[in-house]
Amino acid sequence: MSEFSLINRYCKGIGPQHPQTVLGVGDDAALLTIPAGNELAVSVDTMVEGVHFTADTDPADLAHKILAVNVSDMAAMGAVAQWATLALTLPQQDHAWLHAFSTQLKLSAQQFNLQLVGGDTTRGALCLSLQVLGLVKTGCALRRDQAYVGDSVWVTGNLGDAALALHLREKEILNIDAQLNQALDRPQPPVEFAAQLGGLANAAIDISDGLVADLTHIATCSDVSIVVDSALLPLSEAFHAAQYGTVELALYGGDDYQLAFTAPASAARRLRQLADECSVRLSCIGDVIAYDQRRVSLRKQGQYFAPEPKQGFNHF
């Protein structure tokens, strides 16, 4: 099958047709209209075989995850994902693989209301690179550099489930709880909640490299310190029940694709209401304080601790 038939069969008609899409897949470039009063949020995330996933990973899981990790970045900006372009590098034409990938890509793109409007298809070691484009009301984006002393620190969802699933797989433990596996294979960023955070939250980030590593980015960019109460970390029942479910995994493990954000105390009531409306678990886990030697500290029964020095995933 030619490259063009492959694109037609597997990469066309993915996701809803947005009214602001003038031209989607099929020309040299897509044409998109940015509605007045909006800014365009743009981000790209790549998943490489052997680095982000193993060769035997279910293509349906890859399809969901490449969308979810990018949608998570939009959520972290308070933006709503609209469009995506996909650079697909494949070792060969494996139609069973492509069919499974494309079928799930369609389902998850519908779920995230994201239209695939272009991309690139090449041969090589398996690699998926997705660029996402989203809209955010002008001036309302949630940035990393806007945390203020006195803000509370919040997180959505549960922490550590995905890292625990990975850890258990590496230990070749069988019968891993389905919820833990889902957290790793099918992350569900809190899209609806995030879209309404503008005006409530001050600074936000999505938790991809581990809570402490990602909060450190907010603290550094905002020139403040953050204190996290380790007893307040949201852990799932499955996490509590599983072997190896330690607080360290929730603090330093990655792949949560939940949001961490800071907000003034006055926003607390409205935040809890919004979380209820969106069926999102929301936990207040700490405070923003003036810069004090460490960017992020852990508080446990009134005592302060430094986080472990090697924290978060870093490719280099």
Answer yes or no whether residue 29 interacts with Mg ion by CB under 5 A. no
Segment lying near Mg ion (by CB under 5 A), choices 20-28, 124-132, 140-148, 258-266: 20-28
Work out what residue 146 binds among ligand ADP, Mg ion, none; the CB cut-off runs from 5 to 8 Å by kind.
Answer: none
Question: Closer CB to ligand ADP, residue 7 or residue 62?
Answer: 7
Dig out the tokens for 43 from the structure.
Answer: 């981000």
CB-CB contact of 220 with 128 (8 Å): no
Rounded Cα distance between 159 and 15, Å, is 29
Segment lying near Mg ion (by CB under 5 A), choices 24-32, 124-132, 269-277, 290-298: 24-32
CB of 63 to ligand ADP, least distance (A): 12
Rounded Cα distance between 32 and 23, Å, is 7
Work out what residue 120 binds among ligand ADP, Mg ion, none; the CB cut-off runs from 5 to 8 Å by kind.
Answer: ligand ADP
Work out what residue 205 binds among Mg ion, ligand ADP, none; the CB cut-off runs from 5 to 8 Å by kind.
Answer: none
Question: Closer CB to ligand ADP, residue 11 or residue 263?
Answer: 11
Interface residues toward ligand ADP, by CB under 6 A: 7, 11, 25-28, 86, 88, 116, 118-121
Q: What is the CA radius of gyration of the chain?
A: 20
Please give the C-alpha separations between residue 201 and each of 6, 72, 305, in angstroms, as whole numbers.
43, 16, 27
Question: Closer CB to Mg ion, residue 28 or residue 170?
Answer: 28
- The burial class, CB within 10 Å (0-12 / 13-18 / 19+), for 14 is buried
Work out what residue 194 binds among Mg ion, ligand ADP, none; the CB cut-off runs from 5 to 8 Å by kind.
Answer: none
Answer yes or no whether residue 170 interacts with Mg ion by CB under 5 A. no
CB of 105 to ligand ADP, least distance (A): 9
CB of 115 to ligand ADP, least distance (A): 11
Q: Which of 2, 17, 28, 174 binds Mg ion (CB under 5 A)?
A: 28
Element (H, E) at 65: helix 59-76
Three-class secondary structure of residue 267 per DSSP:
helix
Work out what residue 78 binds among ligand ADP, Mg ion, none; the CB cut-off runs from 5 to 8 Å by kind.
Answer: none
Neighbour-count burial for 84-103, b at 16+ CB within 10 Å, e otherwise: bbbbbbbeeeeeebbebbbe
Dig out the tokens for 47 from the structure.
Answer: 């998943």
